[in-house]
Homo-oligomer: A and B are copies of this chain.
Amino acid sequence: MSQADTAIRILDAAEVLFAERGFTETSLRTITSTARVNLAAVNYHFGSKKELIQAVFERFLTPFTLELNRKLEPYQQTKEPIEVDRLLHSLYGAVLSSMTVQGRNPQRFMRLLGLAYTQHQGHLRRFIVARYGNSYRAFAGLLKNALPELDPSTFYWRLYFMLGATIFSLSSFDAIEAILREDFGARSNLQETLGKLVPVATAMLMAPTVDTDIDSKKTK
């Protein structure tokens, strides 16, 4: 093994193991032995486990955000609203192209994003908001302009519903794909599944705004 790829070997191993098991469930001992580097190397190269977690996220969020900004840039110029499905197309396209360029695994990207939401890691949330919050707000702003008839509260709930549908289902992509393959022999790939998501996410954002009353008393 050459000298200075130690940090990269650690990042590669940590990315896979974190995505599989979560942060707390993955010990530095497992990471360093998988990466076949010394136990002390994580603390030497990254300082602490927390900083290693942030470095893993930085390595895929930075190219993703750059690619998303690049795709949204032409839309920022104009004042008139962009179609919802074009914005979603840009968002999902940025996931695919930022990952495939580097030969990385986009499913793992989605799993890690899901973990960032779910796991109780305050430092990670703060890190992501501080570093990538502007890009998120830019996308949300464009989407809001595309849906001027929604009141703010309804818009933001629907934005979270959309992000939930995306991150949550695709973070289990491999598991769901395996079930569908077994039961129907239907193979899916992520690109095709993201293609299925565009009309679905568009429909949910643009659904009619007739709030239903969920009464726990009524049976039907």
Query: Considering only CB atoms, which chain B residue lies closest to A170 in the complex?
Result: B164
Q: Which of A19-27, A34-42, A47-55, A57-65 contacts B (4 or more CB under 8 A)?
A: A19-27
Find the B residue at minimum CB distance from A167: B168
Contact yes or no, B199 A180, CB < 8 A: no
CB of A44 within 8 A of chain B? no
- Copy tally for this chain in the complex stands at 2
Give a binary string over A193-209; 1 marks a CB under 8 Å from any B CB, 0 the rest. Answer: 11111111111101111
Looking across the interface, which residue of chain B has its beta carbon closest to that of A184?
B152
In the complex, the answer to whether A214 meets B93 with C-beta atoms within 8 Å is yes
Chain B: CB-nearest residue to A86: B220
Q: How many residues of A contact B (CB 8 A)?
A: 77
Residues of B within 8 A of A117 (CB): 168, 172
Q: Which residues of the other chain, B, contact A209 by a CB distance below 8 angstroms? A: 199
Q: Given A153-B180, A164-B164, A193-B157, is A93 in contact with B207 using a C-beta cutoff of 8 Å?
A: no
Instruction: Please indicate the chain B residues that have their CB under 8 angstroms from the CB of A158 in the complex.
Output: 196, 200
Q: Which residue of B lies closest to A173 (CB)?
A: B160
